[in-house]
Amino acid sequence: MRTPTGSPHALHLRMAFVFLSLAAASSQAGAVVTITGGYFGPRTLTLRVGSTAGVDTVQFNVVGPGTGNSLPAAAPIQGNGTAIAASSGGVAFRMSMQLPIGSLSQAMTTTVTSPAALTCTGGNCTGYSIPFSSISWTVSPAPSGPNAAFDLQNGTFAGGGTQTLLNFVVTFGGGSAVDVTSTMNFTYANTVAYPAGTYTGTVTYTASLP
């Protein structure tokens, strides 16, 4: 399966985000991870991935040697292994939780659930799919400082299951607020050249408190 020089064939990968938001958003944090005490308000938990409304789409455009020749019978071949950044840019990530004075220690967990693969939804790629594990992310700014362990870390979608992104226990009995703010920058591994077409999939982010 080979793409001739100058071929217009392209591979489009689209990954939509569904996010769960609980309670009202708090004020914008000025650092990657901010932990403060003395909180008197109600218990709240807010998760934002992408824009404040709707479902965001992360898109990768793969052209030239990175795609197949669009023949339905052609099998995927070796890709060039050069990772391709999302053409849609970075995605905002923010988890904010607030526990009032007198609260017991509580564990917050943020997870992401992804299907096993992105499936063909257009073009001559019928019957083909791309493993979700072909998509990774880095976070910016990079985790640093005394609270770096609580920050969102770089990772790769497991594909076909749920994986934990954040998991920590808040133990401040005097009331506390924790804010984790990052930008997720996604890349496609491009290790296999799939038939040209559009492949789509949706991931769901969830934050929870007991």
Does residue 156 or residue 22 have the better pLDDT? Answer: 156
Q: What confidence tens digit (pLDDT) does each residue in 29-88 have?
A: 223 455 555 556 677 888 899 888 788 889 988 876 545 544 444 455 556 778 889 988
Name the DSSP class of 4.
P
User: Which of helix, strand or coil describes residue 33?
Assistant: strand
Q: Is the pLDDT of residue 121 over 60?
A: yes
Domain that holds residue 162: 10-208
Q: Is residue 74 domain-resident?
A: yes
Does residue 44 or residue 14 have the better pLDDT? Answer: 44
Number of domains composing the chain: 1
Q: Is residue 76 domain-resident?
A: yes
Can you give the pTM of this predicted structure? 0.78
Q: Is residue 187 domain-resident?
A: yes
- Per the CB < 8 A criterion, the answer to whether 83 and 31 are in contact is no
Q: Is the pLDDT of residue 154 over 90?
A: yes
* Sign of the C-alpha dihedral computed for residues 128, 200, 58 and 30 taken in this order: negative
Q: Is residue 4 domain-resident?
A: no
Q: Is residue 2 domain-resident?
A: no
Q: Is residue 32 domain-resident?
A: yes
Q: Is residue 80 domain-resident?
A: yes
Q: Is residue 36 domain-resident?
A: yes
**Amino acid found at 119:** T
